[in-house]
Amino acid sequence: CHLIHYLRLSHHLIVLNYLICTFDKLKSVSSEDIKITDAVFDGVEVRVFEPPAKGDESLKRSVVYIHGGGWALASARTSLYNNLCRIMAESLNAVVVSVEYRLVPEVCFPEQYHDALRATKHFLQPDVLAEYSVDPSRIAISGDSAGGNLAAAVCQQLSKDEDLPVRPKLQALIYPVLQAFDFNTPSYQQNMNMPVLPRYVMINYWIDYINGNYDLAHELLINNHTALNVGRALSFRARLNWTSLLPPSFKKNYKPVVQSTGTAAIVERLPALLD
145 included as an active-site residue? yes
DSSP secondary structure letter of residue 232 = G
First to last CA, the chain: 30
Residue 91 CA, chain-centre distance (Å), reads: 23
Q: Which residue among the candidates 62, 98, 142, 145 is catalytic per the annotation?
A: 145
Q: Distance between alpha carbon 237 and the CA centroid of its chain, in Å?
A: 23
Distances (CA, A) of 41 to 5, 34, 35: 33, 20, 18
Contact present, 42 and 119 (Cβ < 8 Å) = yes
DSSP state of 218: H
φ, ψ of residue 9 to 5 degrees: the values are -85, -30
- Whole-angstrom Cα distance, residue 118 to residue 184? 33
* SS (HEC) of 39-56: EEECCEEEEEEECCCCCC
Active site residues per annotation: 145
